Structure formats: structure tokens, C-alpha cells
């Protein structure tokens, strides 16, 4: 009874692997380490370095480790990048998942959890946005994920697979014990960039658009702590193992914070008044995105533990300060050598 986690050395994937390991699960990871780090994995978790779309690799891993469920994180996630390179996003997100699903079908794996996004909704007609809302993505990133959801639905119907699609809102924070967090260089997550500015690693933070029809003119986001998100995946896995039918679920808290509110929270928490630069709106950005979470709470009996922006920011800051210290220690060692 092994769980294959693709992208398991990445930000969200590594928190998932940690949660599974702490629950005593047998885990195997496939990650190309393009944005992940092998040192984020617990000791003893097998890592196969390669592409989740490499069917030969995946089939070998499934057979060798007797995989019974797949949790699929691997993919590209930056909206502005997807506007510049749509084909890259359709390759990394949609085509990779097509190959992964083909390997799963051939090997008889019939449980699949997919990392999707609230970007499939575009600018919703109602807020909070429920899962049955129309899907009108504004970016190739959102479209690539929506195409994958449709493909997964059709594959499951044809081959007796049960799946959970988890549509993430804004994932943030770090392991509450400070063991792992977001380590990707050049990450575009709002809280990550604010933490880099607060720790002096970034000269300023850009705010794209201050003329939206929101209370302070900036976009509004529903943040979810990465550890709560990992727990949602564990709950989804239990749900599928217990025979639950395929389901699509929003992953957020059901409350929104503006970009400017979030920056002020980081300034207040860190005690550092870092620079903010205002810039025009970006193509593909969504004005307001807040989750209706009634379905996930009812279906999985999911109860978040860290539903508080200050808590999320505090865990992120603790991690960022640790990362900053470690990088400077590495530099000092290199210079002294």
C-alpha cells in the first residue's frame, strides 16, 4: 500500500510527504528537482529523479513499490509565465498528466488525487465561489489545469478510477516546526516575496494593480496554510480508500485578504517597513478569489488548524529567516575555503 507523490520534493509536495510519513504511510517520490529539493524529504523516502510524464519510469516505480494511489503535484504554477509560454504549460501540466494517467491505467492504480487551482474559475460571478461555478480561466495556467480535470474525469469514467480534484486557493506558510518550507529561488508567491523583502533579500515588493473595485484597490485572496492543505490531501486519500466517489473540492478558508492587507501584516509581524512599488495590472490576474469551503468540510470532515493570516505569516517568516541564515552560512564557508 504505497502512495506515489509526484513533485514530492517541491513546496506543497514535501509537506504532503512529511504528513504521510508522520502517519506511517509507505511513500515513493518522483520529482525532476526543477523546483524541488531532495533535502526536503524525510530520511528513507525513496526518490526517483525524473519526469512524472515518463511512462517507463512511472510504470517501473509503480511495479517496484506496489503503488496503490497517486497524488500528483508536479507541474508549472506561475500565471505570468504561462501567458508568455502557454505551450510549456500545456506540456508540463496537461500532457504530463496524460502520460501519468496512462501509466496508472496500465498498472491498475485506481485512486488519483490531483493538484488543481482556483484559477479555473477566472473572475467568478459569485463570492465565495462554489465548485459548481462556471469555469472560465483567464490564463493558460488555469486552462491547462482545467483541461487536466476534464481528462481525469473521462479517464476515471472509462477505467473505474476514483479521484479527488483539489482546487487550491493561495497556498502559503511553512511547516509549523520550521523543518521545511518554500525554498524555490525566484518564487512568485506573495507571502514569500514579502518575507524576502522583510529579511533584506529583496529590495522591494511589487503590487500589480491598485485600481481594482475592491476596498483598497488591490486584489483579494483566500490564503490556506500549506500544512492544512496537506491534511486535506490525507483526508481525501482516506475518503477514496473508504470507497468515496470522485469529487472536486475547493481548498481555502472562505475569507479574503487584500494584497495590501497581507503586506501590512508582514510589515507588522517582522517589524520591518520594506519598500512597496505599485505597478499596472498584469494580464491573467484575478480580482477576487475566495473559496466556498462547505463541500470539503462536509465531505472530508476537514477541519483546518491554522486558519489565521498572522499564524501563516509567522510560520513563513520563521522559515525564511532560517533559510536566510543557512544560505549566509554556506557563503561564509565557501569564502573561507
Distance separating alpha carbons of residues 149 and 81, to the nearest angstrom: 21
- Quick check: 229 and 170 in contact, CB under 8 A? no
Query: For 3, what's the count of Cα atoms within 13 Å in the CB-facing half-sphere?
Result: 28
**Among residues 11, 141, 168, 212, which one is catalytic?**
141
| End-to-end Cα distance, the chain | 47
Q: Would residue 141 show up in a list of annotated catalytic residues for this protein?
A: yes
- Which strands make up the sheet holding 220-221, listed edge to edge? 257-258, 220-221, 288-289
- Quick check: 10 and 35 in contact, CB under 8 A? yes
DSSP 94: I
Distance separating alpha carbons of residues 263 and 276, to the nearest angstrom: 9
DSSP characters for 290-304?
-B--HHHHHHH----
Strand partners for 288: 220
Q: Which of 9, 69, 67, 11 shows the shortest CA–CA distance to 42?
A: 9
- Whether the bond between 247 and the residue before it is cis, its omega within 30 degrees of 0, is no
Q: At which residue does the C-alpha cell 506543497 appear?
A: 12
Distance separating alpha carbons of residues 310 and 326, to the nearest angstrom: 24
Which active-site residues does the annotation give? 141
Amino acid at each position: 500500500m504505497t502512495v506515489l507523490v509526484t513533485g514530492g520534493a517541491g513546496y506543497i509536495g514535501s509537506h504532503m510527504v512529511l504528513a504521510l510519513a508522520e502517519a506511517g504511510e509507505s511513500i515513493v517520490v518522483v520529482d525532476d528537482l526543477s523546483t524541488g529539493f531532495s533535502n526536503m524529504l524525510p530520511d528513507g523516502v525513496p526518490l526517483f529523479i525524473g519526469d512524472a510524464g515518463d511512462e517507463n519510469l512511472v510504470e517501473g516505480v509503480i511495479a517496484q513499490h506496489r503503488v496503490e494511489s497517486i497524488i500528483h503535484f508536479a507541474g508549472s504554477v506561475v500565471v505570468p509565465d504561462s501567458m508568455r509560454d502557454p505551450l510549456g504549460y500545456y506540456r508540463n501540466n496537461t500532457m504530463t498528466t496524460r502520460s501519468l494517467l496512462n501509466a496508472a491505467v496500465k498498472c491498475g492504480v485506481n485512486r488519483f488525487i490531483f493538484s488543481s487551482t482556483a484559477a479555473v474559475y477566472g473572475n467568478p460571478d459569485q463570492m465565495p465561489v462554489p465548485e459548481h461555478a462556471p469555469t472560465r480561466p483567464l490564463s493558460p495556467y488555469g486552462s491547462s489545469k482545467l483541461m487536466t480535470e476534464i481528462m481525469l474525469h473521462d479517464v476515471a469514467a472509462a477505467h473505474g478510477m476514483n479521484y479527488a480534484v483539489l482546487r487550491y486557493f493561495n497556498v502559503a506558510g511553512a511547516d509549523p516546526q520550521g523543518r521545511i518550507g518554500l525554498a524555490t529561488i525566484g518564487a512568485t508567491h506573495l507571502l514569500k516575496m514579502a518575507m524576502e523583502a522583510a529579511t533584506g533579500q529583496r529590495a522591494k515588493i511589487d503590487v500589480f494593480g491598485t485600481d481594482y473595485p475592491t476596498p483598497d484597490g488591490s486584489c483579494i485572496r483566500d490564503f490556506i496554510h500549506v500544512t492544512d492543505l496537506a491534511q486535506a490531501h490525507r483526508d481525501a486519500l482516506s475518503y477514496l480508500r473508504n470507497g468515496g466517489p470522485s469529487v472536486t473540492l475547493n481548498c481555502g478558508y472562505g475569507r479574503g485578504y487584500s494584497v495590501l492587507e497581507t503586506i501590512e501584516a508582514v510589515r507588522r509581524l517582522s517589524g520591518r517597513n520594506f519598500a512597496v512599488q505599485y505597478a499596472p495590472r498584469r494580464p491573467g490576474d484575478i480580482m477576487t478569489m475566495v473559496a466556498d469551503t462547505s463541500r470539503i468540510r462536509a465531505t472530508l470532515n476537514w477541519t483546518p488548524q491554522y486558519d489565521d493570516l498572522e499564524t501563516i505569516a509567522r510560520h513563513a517568516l520563521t522559515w525564511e529567516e532560517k533559510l536566510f541564515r543557512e544560505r549566509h552560512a554556506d557563503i561564509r564557508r565557501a569564502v573561507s575555503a
